[in-house]
Amino acid sequence: MVKLRTALALAVSLLFAAAALADPSDSNPRVTPVVKAARLAAPAVVNITSARIAERGLDSFDLFLGDSGYFSQPGGRERGREESLGSGVIIDGRGGLVLTNAHVISGATEITVRLQDGREFKAGLAASDPDFDLAVLRLAKASGLPEIRMGDSSDLMIGETVIAIGNPYGYSHTLTTGVVSALGRSIRTQDGAFTDLIQTDAAINPGNSGGPLLNINGELIGINTAIHAGAEGIGFAIPVAKAKRVVAELESAGHVRAAWLGLSGQSLDARTARHLGLDKPRGMVITEIYEGQSAAKAGLMPGDVIVSVDSVAIEDREHFVDLLRNSTVGETVKLGIWRGGARTAVSLETAEFTLDAARAVVLERWGMELSIERGAVKIVTLRPGSAAQKVGLAPGDRLIQIGGARLREPSDFVQGVLRYRMHNTVILMIERAGRQYYAKFSV
């Protein structure tokens, strides 16, 4: 009996000792995997306040405090400080690097970053690429900061739990949960096309932009970037695999190098498709091959139809451009080609779309010779049948802007072609006979 009591006492004491050593959260049903993930990741999530000086027109009814909190005078124009809110995530705690969306800090004259623990830092723009809507900030006098754990976006599963943390409407470190609704989504906005996105039903609101999308382990799998206007439960995030690639290029080159195959093309219409022996008008027909580039070396010719990229069927030219955006310079891509009623495959290595390549596009595809006249860029000659002529341009037209950027000399136009190469279309402002017009066409 004494031995039994001793054994029981020893067992009880060991039980209490084990309980004392155990993590209380392991036995607390309230501490769910979501709670654990939030505790792990939240210290590396930051709120971003971007300030800019904006000028806006006023009318006689604009008499009170506007959105920016500045008193407005009737009539005229007002210059005032405007602030926008966004989110970000620390990807390098030692170097003080923060990853966010490019649109969060676009045009900012002052950027302030606030951590969960209340610390604030002034930030400078280290690098940005609006085409991918990603930017890297460097915090001033910051080191030893918490940083996010990187996850893997290549093996995501439809239906798995995801967590969004951000700064919606200024409510710091707001957490919402949902699931992966779909993968590989493409969306089009006024700023361009975005492909290969993660779709989620986790609530994402204004101010969440640039914040992390996490898996159940608290690891970064995406950067929240967009919502579907007018619809609840439809949000989109840039996969972390793409974000890491873009960040690596931004850090090494200061920009993301656009991949190029040395060809131009246009979408197929039904009539052309039938003429080429295709059942449906899907794909992109090659219109120009540039000498010395990958397409020429591979033996591609005008009239060939690109029907797939790396086994992904091509819908049209825009789809082709979207897919090529996901390629890196020096990567090999496999094109499915329709030629002479038969299908074949060709492998090409992508090259960088350089300034020289942009000049070749202006000369070959656009068929324009440009000069300067009274401080404006003027079309001197135009090749018959060129892309420029097809959209209505003519010799004597003055080119004022490309994509909103003012043109002062021919090289500005070439730079614009380089800048907007990965956009499906670009807006060109033209002046003819003293009147200004807009034309939209593919670069």
* Annotated catalytic residue within 103, 173, 319, 423: 103
68 as an active site residue: the answer is: no
255 as an active site residue: the answer is: no
Note whether 90 and 147 are within 8 A (CB).
yes
How far apart (Å, rounded) are the C-alpha atoms in residues 165 and 103?
A: 18
133 as an active site residue: the answer is: yes
Q: What's the CA dihedral at 62, 67, 70, 72 to 10 degrees?
A: -10
CA-only gyration radius of the chain, Å: 27
How many C-beta atoms lie closer than 10 Å to residue 433's C-beta?
6
How far apart (Å, rounded) are the C-alpha atoms in residues 443 and 416?
A: 9
How many residues belong to the chain?
A: 443
* Annotated catalytic residue within 172, 209, 267, 308: 209
How far apart (Å, rounded) are the C-alpha atoms in residues 206 and 167?
A: 8
* Annotated catalytic residue within 133, 304, 316, 397: 133
Which residues are identified as catalytic?
A: 103, 133, 209
